[in-house]
């Protein structure tokens, strides 16, 4: 081989958890000056491999060589000191500190034990400018949206003269423009000789920015390829281990049916007239019927989530009326909405969905139990039956109701939350970004579920940043822009991504 | 819970080797249980008393009442168990109640004030009304805390700190700055002897059992744990988190009031300055020793009872051994630190080399420890 010698070389990495072997003899190489995609479905072992490489967890077997020298990382600090920087999917910064402090925390310029604040801000501003970011470094980090915070985290990681930079799904909360900016930054770092390991679920991004890839499945390496050697189809086959033709069938299924759907005029299940909330979303009109999927498209921060939260009573509307089954209602709390058969899966699974310290069983039964009230517990038999029924139906892994929910992978957590709501048999299910940050296989399963549930008569609001997904699944498509619902169309073959995109971009619809 | 098999105990002496290892493995598993070290310390403390008090474990009957060191400990600990049980639920919602000591004083003084001002101090109705007033005062204090924490979003430590300070002032106002001494046989009965047993033990046991039934036989326990584990997620799942928190604080106030009645009835006097002094801290210690995390979430009523017993037994032991009372607090702090360290997985892994929750298959050959 004519490969240059790898910066980071991991061989025979094995990691056993109580219930599962997360990594089984994994070999992984990162070359200097490359962007290397680390791929695999949820639970394939990507996160564990990264944790081993960054000293968060130690492997049970295997060796790590950095620049040819065997190393051990008993703690994250050791990996960092050796030149391995990491940016995680969730921003791990201090939102109450300034941008400058966040970038340089731990390596502040000091004089006689005191921090030189001016110098700190100067250095931070220089770094930020070098990476083409336009932020005020003296402002607190939480003055900026999550996407900018993510970029700041990357600046912080890159600022330490890292030899290896690991980016764990940095793009899942970024919009298109921000992703472009991130990629520019990544290419610049690559050209400076940094080895970048890039984890993402967006296949297009791999082909846009990566040089090589390693694919994991079930804790083993199933392929190490040049990106140019493997097309998307081959890659998906490699990741999933089966074909994904099913997805394409879905599109036809909904599209043909949606034409019929608009004809039969079932009365609206939920009807919003002039519903709005100051600072959240401008007043909007909306109708959802039984069996209808209403897709909402729009950029991050366009008001998609805010709209959904009003329909669910998570926030209270301060204008307009909301009717459920033709009856005007005021939703003061989620419990009020649930009583009327409305359910809501938040986009923020960690903060607003999961209760990590409780078991899978308790998490699944929670909404149903809350609706019944504490005095009427679901009997142990009924509960266990329901839980195991939904674990099987949604293929939640591990299929053990006693596992703590926090230990599940992202896709399985999402399925768990779906199970929590499906058990309550809602009439309207609001899904906010249900497929974000989860692997192709789980994504397809969730999309299929949306179709079959709406076939059974459940109304749905489906929110996603992926336009293709919205168009594939929805009967009606709504577009949001700058906290305003600017258009709603009946979906059909004539509605294309271009039209929706131009509406998202311009706010005008013809 | 560790199920220590009973079926093999009879054959332990017959077989060796394999069963020895099994016992070792069982011991390891038991050692990683959250109640193992508190239990060990409790037994250890009791054994410390044996040389100086050979009849430490014996319980006799005198004048129709049970007596003995253990009974004394239980009488002394009963009010602390009551306070601890209430605190457990509050802490499980990821809250805290620093005002329990003050509530103990308020409830006790309010009840005694009523007795003193009654036309017939000895009437049963006087005692009942006094108890009702004391408990109502506790409920009101709990509702006050709950209102600020659950409805107004004040941080629990701040909201209850104000009542901790102001509450003792309220108690002093009720008692007019004096110790109220009551002369009521019926009020004395509340904290006196009910048949052969002291009422404190019966009341504490009843509250413990009822609380366990109330939280574990209904869904209340799970909903409390959900709120404590992630309040926003619980709210979005339809849990009425505000109500749950409110309930926990009110229940905690009720428990503290019950403790206040016990204490004042026991001594037939209410001392607003000292009644329930430090109870908030002993209560928190008991909860923590019992394995409930201060971060909220999972709670263990039984653990809290064990924690309170450790503290009570420690106090009793120090007294019995004639340790000067000014060093009590130092000893208490020391024991708590030791128990917490032994219970910490990090400490065990690093220092004792006992891996937490490790469930290895029992090796066939005797283990060779390097």
What are the φ and ψ backbone dihedral angles of A484, each rounded to 5 degrees? -140, 140
B238 at the A interface (CB within 8 A)?
A: yes
Strand-strand pairing, A61-66 and A110-111: unpaired
ipTM for the whole complex: 0.81
Residues sharing a CB contact under 8 Å with residue A122, sequence separation 6 or more, in sequence order: none
B220 CB neighbours in chain A (<8 A) are: 374
pLDDT for residue B359:
43
B199: in domain: yes
* Helix residue spans in A23-82 (DSSP H): 46-53, 76-81
Does B356 touch chain A if contact means CB atoms closer than 8 Å?
no
Residue ranges, chain A, pLDDT below 50: 1-2, 256, 259-260, 262-263, 510
- Which pLDDT belongs to residue B19? 66
- CB distance B258 to B135 below 8 Å: yes
Interface test with A, best of B233, B297, B299 (most A CBs within 10 A): B233
Question: How far apart, in whole angstroms, are the C-alpha atoms of residue A433 and residue A296?
Answer: 10
pLDDT number for residue A263: 47
Chain A residues lying within 8 Å of B236, measured CB to CB: 312, 314, 334, 344, 346, 352-353
- For the stretch A442-469, what's the b/e string if a residue is b when 16 or more beta carbons lie within 10 angstroms of its beta carbon? bbbbbbbbbbebbeeebbbbbbbbebeb
Q: Of B262, B263, B260, whose CA–CA distance to B252 is shortest?
A: B260
Question: Looking at residue A88, what DSSP letter applies?
Answer: -
Chain A residue numbers touching B357 (CB-CB < 8 A):
18
In a domain, B210, yes or no: yes
**Of the candidates A20, A42, A136, the residue with the CA atom closest to the CA atom of residue A395:** A42
Q: Are A455 and A291 in contact (CB under 8 A)?
A: yes
Q: Does B236 reach chain A within 8 Å, measured CB to CB?
A: yes
Residues 86-125 (B) with a CB less than 8 A from some CB of A: none
CB A14 within 8 A of CB A23: yes
Residue B39 touches partner A, C-beta closer than 8 Å: no
Residues A6 and A206 sit within 8 Å (Cβ to Cβ) = no
Chain B residues near residue A352 by CB distance under 8 angstroms: 232-233, 236
Residues of A in contact with B239 (CB under 8 A): 335, 366, 370
Q: What are phi and psi of A388, to 5 degrees?
A: -70, -30
Of A356, A370, A372, the CB nearest to B237: A370
How far is residue A358's CA from residue A355's CA, in Å, rounded to a whole number?
Answer: 6
CA dihedral over B356, B362, B367, B370, signed as positive or negative: negative
Contact criterion met (CB below 8 Å) for B91 and B287: yes
Q: Is B17 exposed, middle or buried (0-12, 13-18, 19+ CB in 10 A)?
A: exposed
Interface test with B, best of A366, A380, A419, A424 (most B CBs within 10 A): A366
Residues A334, B237: C-beta atoms closer than 8 Å: yes
Q: Would you say residue B328 lies in a domain?
A: no
Residue A128, pLDDT score? 87
Structure tokens at A301: 């921060």
Length, in residues, of chain A: 510
CA distance A305 to chain B (A): 14
Q: Chunk chain B into consecutive blocks of 10 residues (it has 370) and report each block's average pLDDT, rounded to whole numbers.
A: 39 51 80 82 90 88 88 94 97 96 96 92 92 97 97 95 94 91 91 89 96 95 95 95 96 97 93 91 92 90 95 90 84 81 75 52 38
Q: Is B226 on the interface with A (CB under 8 A)?
A: yes
Which 3 state secondary structure label does DSSP give A340? coil
Residue B3 in domain: no
In a domain, B170, yes or no: yes
Helix, coil or strand: residue B181: strand
Q: Which residues of A touch B223 (CB under 8 A)?
A: 369-370, 374
Determine the structural domain holding residue B144 and report its residue range. Answer: 19-320
For chain B, the domain total comes to: 1
Chain B stretch 275-304, residues whose beta carbon is closer than 8 A to a beta carbon of chain A: 297-298
Question: What local confidence, expressed as pLDDT, does residue B369 receive?
Answer: 37
Instruction: Spell out which residues of chain A touch residue B213, defining contact as CB-CB under 8 Å.
Output: none
Assess contact for A446 and A418: CB atoms under 8 A.
Answer: yes
- From the list B238, B298, B357, the residue facing A335 with the nearest CB is B238
CA distances in angstroms from A363 to A123, A334, B338, listed in the order given: 46, 17, 35
Of B223, B235, B244, the CB nearest to A334: B235
Q: Rounded CA gap, A431 and A470, in Å?
A: 11
pLDDT at residue A161 in the model: 75
Q: Chain A contacts of B217, Cβ < 8 Å?
A: 377
pLDDT for the residue A390? 93
Q: What is the pTM of this model?
A: 0.77
- Nearest to residue A361, comparing CAs of A391, A393, A395? A391
**CB-CB contact of A359 with A401 (8 Å):** yes
Residue B329 in domain: no
Residues in chain B: 370
| CA-based nearest residue in chain A for residue B225 | A358
Place of tokens 């929706």: A500
- C-alpha dihedral (B7, B10, B16, B22), degrees to nearest 10: 30
Contacts 24+ apart (CB under 8 A), B339-345: B339/B37, B339/B38, B339/B41, B339/B289, B339/B310, B340/B288, B340/B289, B342/B37, B342/B40, B343/B34, B343/B37, B343/B38, B343/B291, B345/B32
The per-residue pLDDT for range A202-222, each reduced to its tens digit, is 777 888 999 999 999 888 999
- The sheet with strand A268-277 has its strands ordered as A281-289, A268-277, A319-324, A327-329
Distance CA B214, CA A374 (A): 10
CATH of residue B134's domain is 1.10.3470
Structure token pair of residue B53: 């008090």
Q: Is A354–B230 a contact, with Cβ atoms under 8 angstroms apart?
A: yes
CA distance B112 to A117: 61
Q: Which ranges in B290-369 belong to alpha helices (H)?
A: 301-320, 328-343, 345-347
Q: What distance in Å separates residue A356's CA from the closest CA in chain B?
A: 7
How does pLDDT run across A282-318, given as a tens digit for each residue? 999 999 999 999 999 887 678 889 999 999 999 999 9
Is some CB atom of chain A closer than 8 A to the CB atom of B65? no
SS3 B53: coil
First CA to last CA across chain B, in angstroms?
Answer: 31
| Whether A367 and B225 lie within 8 Å, measured CB to CB | no
Strand A61-66 and strand A8-16: the pairing is antiparallel
Give the containing element (helix H, strand E) for B16: none
Q: Which of A490, A451, A435 minimizes the C-alpha distance to A499? A: A490
Q: Which two tokens stand for residue A316?
A: 């209270």
**Residues 6 or more apart in contact with residue A360 via CB below 8 angstroms:** A387, A391, A396, A400, A401, A402, A403, A404, A405, A408, A416
CA distance B288 to chain A (A): 17
Q: Would you say the C-alpha torsion B147, B150, B152, B154 has a positive or negative sign?
A: positive
Residue A122, token pair as written in the block = 């100067």
Contacts of A371 in chain B (CB under 8 A): 238
Contacts of A310 (CB under 8 A, 6+ apart): A272, A275, A276, A277, A280, A281, A316, A317, A322, A331
**Residue B283 falls within a domain, yes or no?**
yes
CB nearest to B222's CB, from A353, A362, A367: A362
- Residue B124 belongs to some domain of the structure: yes
């Amino acid at each position: 081989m004519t490969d240059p010698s790898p910066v980071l070389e991991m061989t025979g990495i094995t990691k056993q958890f109580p219930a599962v072997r997360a990594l089984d003899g994994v070999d992984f190489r990162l070359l200097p000056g490359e962007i290397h995609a680390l791929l695999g479905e949820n639970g394939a072992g990507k996160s564990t491999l990264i944790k081993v490489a960054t000293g968060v967890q130690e492997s049970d077997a295997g060796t790590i060589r950095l620049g040819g020298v065997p190393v051990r990382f008993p703690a994250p600090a050791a990996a960092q000191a050796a030149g391995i920087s990491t940016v995680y999917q969730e921003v791990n910064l201090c939102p109450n500190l300034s941008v400058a402090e966040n970038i340089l925390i731990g390596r502040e310029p000091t004089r006689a034990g005191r921090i030189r604040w001016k110098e700190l801000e100067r250095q931070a501003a220089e770094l930020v400018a070098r990476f083409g970011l336009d932020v005020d470094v003296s402002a607190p980090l939480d003055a900026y949206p999550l996407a900018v915070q993510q970029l700041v985290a990357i600046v912080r990681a890159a600022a330490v003269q890292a030899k290896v930079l690991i980016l764990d799904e940095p793009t899942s909360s970024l919009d298109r423009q921000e992703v472009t900016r991130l990629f520019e930054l990544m290419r610049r770092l690559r050209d400076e000789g940094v080895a970048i390991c890039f984890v993402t679920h967006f296949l297009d991004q791999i082909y846009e920015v990566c040089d090589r890839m390693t694919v994991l499945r079930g804790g083993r390496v199933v392929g190490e390829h040049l990106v140019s050697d493997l097309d998307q189809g081959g890659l998906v086959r490699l990741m999933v281990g089966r074909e994904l033709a099913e997805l394409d069938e879905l599109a036809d299924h909904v599209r043909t049916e949606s034409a019929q759907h608009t004809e039969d005029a079932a009365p609206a299940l939920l009807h919003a007239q002039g519903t709005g909330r100051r600072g959240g979303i401008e007043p909007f009109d909306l109708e959802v019927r039984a069996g209808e999927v209403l897709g909402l498209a729009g950029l991050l921060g366009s008001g998609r989530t805010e709209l959904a939260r009003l329909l669910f009573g998570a926030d209270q509307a301060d204008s307009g009326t909301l009717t459920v089954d033709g009856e005007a209602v005021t939703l003061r709390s989620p419990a009020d909405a649930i009583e009327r058969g409305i359910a809501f899966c938040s986009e923020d699974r960690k903060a607003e969905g999961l209760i990590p310290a409780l078991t899978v069983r308790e998490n699944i039964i929670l909404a149903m139990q809350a609706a019944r009230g504490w005095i009427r517990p679901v009997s142990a038999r009924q509960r266990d039956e329901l839980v195991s029924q939904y674990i099987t139906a949604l293929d939640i892994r591990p299929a053990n109701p006693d596992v703590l929910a926090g230990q599940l992978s992202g896709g399985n957590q999402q399925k768990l939350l779906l199970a929590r709501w499906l058990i309550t048999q809602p009439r309207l299910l609001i899904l906010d970004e249900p497929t974000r940050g989860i692997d192709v296989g789980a994504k397809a399963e969730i999309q299929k579920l949306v179709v079959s549930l709406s076939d059974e008569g459940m109304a749905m609001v489906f929110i996603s940043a992926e336009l293709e997904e919205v168009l594939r699944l929805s009967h009606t498509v709504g577009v949001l822009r700058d906290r305003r619902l600017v258009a709603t169309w009946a979906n059909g073959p004539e509605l294309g991504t271009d039209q929706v995109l131009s509406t998202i971009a311009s706010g005008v619809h013809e | 819970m560790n199920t220590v098999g009973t079926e093999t105990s009879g054959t332990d002496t017959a077989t060796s080797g394999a069963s020895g290892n099994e016992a070792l493995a069982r011991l390891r598993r038991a050692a990683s249980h959250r109640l193992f070290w508190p239990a060990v310390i409790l037994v250890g403390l009791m054994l410390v008393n044996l040389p100086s008090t050979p009849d430490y474990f014996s319980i006799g009957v005198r004048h129709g009442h049970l007596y003995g060191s253990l009974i004394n400990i239980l009488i002394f600990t009963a009010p602390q168990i009551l306070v601890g049980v209430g605190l457990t639920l509050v802490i499980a919602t990821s809250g805290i109640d620093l005002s329990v000591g003050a509530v103990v004083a308020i409830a006790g003084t309010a009840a005694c004030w009523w007795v003193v001002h009654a036309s017939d101090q000895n009437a049963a109705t006087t005692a009942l009304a006094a108890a009702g007033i004391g408990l109502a005062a506790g409920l009101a204090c709990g509702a006050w805390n709950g209102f600020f924490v659950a409805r107004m979003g004040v941080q629990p430590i701040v909201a209850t700190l104000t009542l901790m300070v102001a509450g003792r002032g309220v108690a002093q106002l009720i008692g007019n700055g004096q110790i109220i001494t009551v002369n009521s046989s019926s009020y004395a009965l509340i904290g006196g002897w009910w048949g052969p047993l002291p009422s404190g033990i019966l009341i504490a046991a009843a509250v413990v059992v009822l609380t366990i039934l109330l939280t574990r036989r209904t869904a209340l326990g799970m909903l409390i744990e959900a709120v404590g584990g992630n309040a926003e997620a619980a709210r979005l799942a339809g849990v009425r988190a505000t109500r749950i928190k409110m309930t926990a604080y009110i229940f905690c106030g009720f428990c503290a009031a019950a403790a206040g009645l016990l204490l004042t009835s026991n001594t037939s006097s209410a001392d607003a300055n000292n009644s329930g002094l430090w109870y908030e801290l002993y209560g928190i210690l008991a909860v923590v020793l019992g394995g409930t995390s201060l971060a909220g979430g999972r709670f263990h009523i039984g653990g809290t009872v064990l924690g309170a017993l450790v503290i009570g037994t420690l106090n009793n032991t120090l007294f019995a051994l004639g340790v000067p009372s000014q060093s009590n607090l130092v000893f208490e702090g020391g024991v708590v630190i030791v128990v917490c360290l032994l219970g910490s997985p990090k400490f065990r892994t690093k220092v004792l080399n006992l891996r937490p929750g490790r469930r290895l298959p029992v090796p066939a050959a005797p283990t060779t420890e390097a």
